[in-house]
Structure 1
Amino acid sequence: MNTQKILSIFMIFAVLTGTMLALGCTEADNENDFVETEHDEETTIPLDEITNIEWQWSGLIETLPASHSVVPDPENYTITFSENGTYSIKADCNRGSGSYTLEDNKMTIAPGPITLAYCGPESLDSQYLSLLGNVTAVSMEDGKLVLETGENGDRMLFIKGEIVEQ
């Protein structure tokens, strides 16, 4: 294994470890710190609306600083939720799985085993995995799956891919 691959694996592990530590240590001090938008309404998301579909990450809306970025190859960053509380992901050249919880519109995604291949300098795999580790809520908007991350109300946008047979 060359040094660049080892460093990449180390960086991915460091990001995942930091994300898990942050999840255990963060707490919103004030509900007014969240950006108020119409998608903040607490709405129960039926499992059958999100399960057994390969969702493709198509964009990211960040609030601080305000920006909207488009994912160049959505088919390389997918997540499929199963009805039994597990998920499988594709993060560019890596594959993984884990468990999730969904109550009303509140969601948490727990990391699980994942391959740690180096996908190249243009890959968004580290960002994708970090964002998934910070998911706090889920909603549906215009047929798109929206996963809210962190305390700022950043939003990951997903488009429908293939229907997955269980």
Structure 2
Amino acid sequence: MGSSYCFECNNCEHKFFTSGPWEFRWNKSGKIEYCGHLLGNRVKQGVDGLSGHLFCVNCDTVSEIILLEYKKRVFTNLEVWGKHTELKPGYSHEEYKQFLKWGKYDFKLKAPKNNPDKKIRCPHCDITNLLFLVPYRPFESDCPKCHIGKIHLVRIDIS
């Protein structure tokens, strides 16, 4: 299961949320169905890949992006999360394979056919500078709204 993160500008308080990675499977009509951890009856249904809600620092939008899709549906949590670490958007297929170290579990990233470098891109402006999980240190990004402040991670209070 994924996590949610809140980011905020230290100048104008512009705020946005990212989340993921989320386990999903394709339903019969070809739409994403979120399935959570493979427990109980969900084990029989399996997982087709991982998706997330990523923020584009260029056009100030949050988009649902397929981060990776397995060549074959997987049926155990070990297959889904084994040796899993945080994803870094903008990596090519080969870079993801090296970064995630999935071993024998073969996967492909869902990337548009007209995307020769195989990088995950914003569906609105086509850049690869997308913010997803807790940023690696040091992290600093200009605010896309005021262009003065810097974006930083803030605590999420769950009531």
TM category (shorter chain) comes to under 0.3
* TM-score, normalised with respect to structure 1: 0.25
When you count helix as a share of all residues, which structure comes out higher? Answer: 1
